[in-house]
Structure 1
Amino acid sequence: MADNDEIISILNDLIEVSKDGEEGFRTSAEQVDDPQLKAFFLSRSQDVATSVQELQDLVRSIGGEPAASSSLGGALHRRWIALKIALTSNDTVAVLNEVERGEDTALASYRKAAAEDLPADIKFVIVRQLEGAQRNHDQVKQLRDTARAEASAH
């Protein structure tokens, strides 16, 4: 079983990745013109913010100090730069591609955390949030595939 410091570290990693996603969805909402896509991104951003709060509360409940900001680490930082570049062109397919890449990162982080030997209550939250991240990913992928098909038809 992971010790308290390891659990806090795992949860804080998920907080940082989730805050990246929250910011990415919010930024995407600000950059797209389609009202339904804008609403989708805003809804996902709010859902991820709720997940972040839940993770932060878990960290506090075991005596830790929760991460308060998104990560600025190498690969994630490059992904967000790529997202910002995609957003400047206001190309829906490019935006959705970058959002999906961010969700790929979130899924990988959640899968890694879910594989750890953690207390049942913490593992339950992580697995539930992993399922939410998978739904986000699948919805973004479906939206991207639809946008690609529409772009090809024009």
Structure 2
Amino acid sequence: MSNKTTAELNELIEITRDGKRFYEHARDEVKDPQLQVLFKDMAQAKTDVIVALEGKVAANHEVPASGGTFTGKLRQVYADTRAAISSDEGATYIAQLEEAEDRILHAFEDAMDSKNPDLRADITAQMPKVRACHDRMRDLKKAQ
């Protein structure tokens, strides 16, 4: 695996970790038990993807990314602010989490479109889970 592949995998790890942290945070902020369970499930799905990608990086004797991104943190603060002034905090978090899912899906799709066959091979197995999470939040947002 090249250094470029490792860097790209680490970027995907960071973006996915942003989503995981956002779901965990939203789970702690909302009062609706159904949303709490959903957000817990979605955070676990992100953990599964992160662990798989970290394994790919570590298998090549590289160090997996351990943090998130500044953009991810800003999105979380923005959602908190909107939820604080909204009459429906659940809908606010759903909308913001759906946008986070868009960001994650686009990052993975861009990686799949890469001319780097090693990168495509490393993330192919994760794409169904990434798409399923995205579609689940999209459908929930549309249902509101």
TM bin, normalised by shorter chain, reads 0.7 to 0.9
Partner residue in 1 for 2:109: 111
Q: Deviations over 1:83-131 (max 9, x none)?
A: 2223434522111110011011101110111112222xx5344123222
Q: Aligned to 2:65, what secondary structure does the other structure show?
A: coil
Is the Cα contact below 8 Å between 1:110 and 1:130 reproduced in 2? yes
Q: Aligned to 2:117, what secondary structure does the other structure show?
A: coil
Q: Aligned to 2:126, what secondary structure does the other structure show?
A: helix
| TM, length-normalised to structure 1 | 0.83
- Give structure 2 stretches of 5+ with no counterpart: none
Partner residue in 2 for 1:27: 25
Is the Cα contact below 8 Å between 1:86 and 1:98 reproduced in 2? no
Aligned residues: 141
Q: Which runs of 4+ in 1 moved over 4 A?
A: none
Q: Aligned to 1:66, what secondary structure does the other structure show?
A: coil
Task: Say whether 1:78 aligns with 2:74.
Answer: yes
Q: Distance in 2 between matches of 1:58 and 1:17?
A: 16
In the TM superposition, what is the alpha-carbon distance from 1:44 to its structure 2 partner?
A: 0.9
In the TM superposition, what is the alpha-carbon distance from 1:38 to its structure 2 partner?
A: 0.8
Partner residue in 2 for 1:152: none
Taking the TM superposition and a 5 Å limit, the aligned residue runs for 1:39-118 are 39-72=37-70, 75-88=71-84, 89=86, 91-116=89-114, 117-118=116-117
- Give structure 1 stretches of 5+ with no counterpart: 149-154
Q: Aligned to 1:55, what secondary structure does the other structure show?
A: helix
Q: Distance in 2 between matches of 1:24 and 1:130?
A: 20
* Percent of aligned pairs with the same amino acid: 21
Task: Find the structure with the greater CA-based Rg.
Answer: 1
Task: Say whether 1:18 aligns with 2:13.
Answer: no
Q: Deviations over 1:32-72 (max 9, x none)?
A: 22211110110110121121111111101112111001112
Match of 1:139 among 125, 128, 136: 136
